[in-house]
Amino acid sequence: MKSLVLFAGLAVAGAVHAAPSASPAASAAAMAQIRQGPVQGVLTAGVASFLGLPYAAPPVGERRWRAPAAAPSWTAVRDASRFGPDCVQEPMQSPPGPGFVNRTSEDCLTLNVWKPAAAPAATLPVMVWIHGGAFIMGAGSFPSFDGAALARQGVVLVTLNYRLGRFGVFAHPALAREQGGRPVADFGLLDQIAALQWVRDNIAAFGGDAANVTIVGESAGASSVNFLMGSPLARGLFAKAISESGGTSSQLKTVAALQAEGQAWARAAGVADDDAAALRALPTARVWDGPVTTVAAPVIDGNVVTASTDEAFHDGAVAAVPYLVGANSQEESLLRWLPGLADVFLDALGERGPAALAFYTADGVDRRTAVARLWGEGAMVEPARMRARQVAGRGGVAWLYRYAYVPDAAPAGTRGAGHEAEIEMVFKNPDPRWPRSWSARDAAMADTISAYWVNFARSGNPNGPGLPAWPQYWAAGDAAMEFSQAGAKAGAGFGKARLDLLDQVYAQQRHWAAP
């Protein structure tokens, strides 16, 4: 039987909903003293924002394809009113919102902080957002990730950039020799870890609690959350984790395979096999010689990533922290960027394919739609439940959700909640490209979901006053919080028969005991 070909970061859309940017001129200045020096942000409507703060040295010149180094320091007050450049990336088919333009550069390792303007009575929980985009696009500056609404709920929100594409995942024998033979390939994940170290060392300057950090991500960002859960280099840097539509990582390249690819690419660029300096001297445009059409997935390098996340979660080799995970009702919306992938997935199911597909044709839908639905649940919904089961099965704390809400403001004909549709609710940032403003019901759903996420960041439990009870996940109860037109309501056993069948396929291919 062929292996299932799935990966969390397949979302080349990269979470591109939009909301008002945090960078326009504000009414007053905000000040903070971090380890690098004093910074001046902006104060707007009760929220202080500090943008474009470098968390590592620029990864340019001699620093290209190296682990991030210490960030620069300064003595004069540094302006923190504007985002830094986005990392070099694949151009999106549509911009993330009207008027949003941000430059790109290899010098892009910056982060952004939003906090309540008023001094808190106690240190605040911290949420660190890791953007999606298939590891080939995205940025912490996207308007959809404006952290003002979350800050108003009493958290410190951090967004960050990390290296993408060939800048973020690359291996070559000449680079390995520099490391004494120890491979370093997952530079984007190393960036994320460096950002978390910066948060640990500096977040108190913004009123945040370094011991109460929640990492949150969607798509490739959620996959990153799962990789960080399993990475020994990230231990102790976060206390909770939220993975939104993170999928699985069953098929990871070895670093040896990536080195062979990198060597072949470098030769085509005219670089000798032993010339690391020539590699680093290549122009940026030559390194990013797109268009990039595949996910720039992390690899098992034995350093940052020691196993696929499937195996790490299965073996319990992950951080023992509360874990909130889920997916959306129409994850197959991704297929508009991935033509043919659903049929590849169906074929990979082998002899179990017809039985799996029968669940999706039972209501009379056409075969093409059914295959797409099968892919959406196989790629995102089943892996979310599997992750919750893996955590809970080893005595950990897990919470599972299914997001199916379609806003009244959505364009006519919107079918289900597509990949990344929940982000606007988490951040409480409506999409201004939509034809209508949020209805009262839309705003209420955003209030509910955002409150759950903030409660989880505070305590590891999403429940709180005025919210429908969200039961902790246990495989025996198979309970999840469902967000739909009916509101937020706990349910049990969603899609159990078909998801159980997919579970069995995964277990068989990984040689695990059948669930």
* Residues catalogued as catalytic: 219, 331, 419
With the CA atoms of 436, 95, 222 and 241 taken in that order, what torsion angle do they form, in degrees rounded to the nearest 10? -60
Secondary structure (3-state) at 376: helix
Tell me the sheet residues that pair with 169: 186
The CA-atom distances, in angstroms, between 93 and each of 6, 12, 14 are 23, 10, 11
Please name the amino acid found at residue 98. P
Name the residue among 164, 380, 455 with its Cα closest to residue 292.
164
Are 161 and 51 a contacting pair, CB within 8 Å?
Answer: no
Q: Token pair of 115, please?
A: 């906090």
Q: Tokens 């991704």, residue? A: 334
Strands 156-160 and 37-44: unpaired
Cα gap 171→158, rounded to integer Å: 29
Cα gap 65→338, rounded to integer Å: 29
Secondary structure (3-state) at 31: strand
At 277, phi and psi to the nearest 5?
A: -65, -40
Q: Report the Cα–Cα distance between both ends of the chain, in Å, rounded.
A: 19
CA count, 13 A, side-chain hemisphere, 496: 10
Q: Quick one: 270 exposed, middle or buried, by C-beta within 10 A (0-12, 13-18, 19+)?
A: exposed
Name the residue among 138, 300, 155, 139 with its Cα closest to residue 214.
155
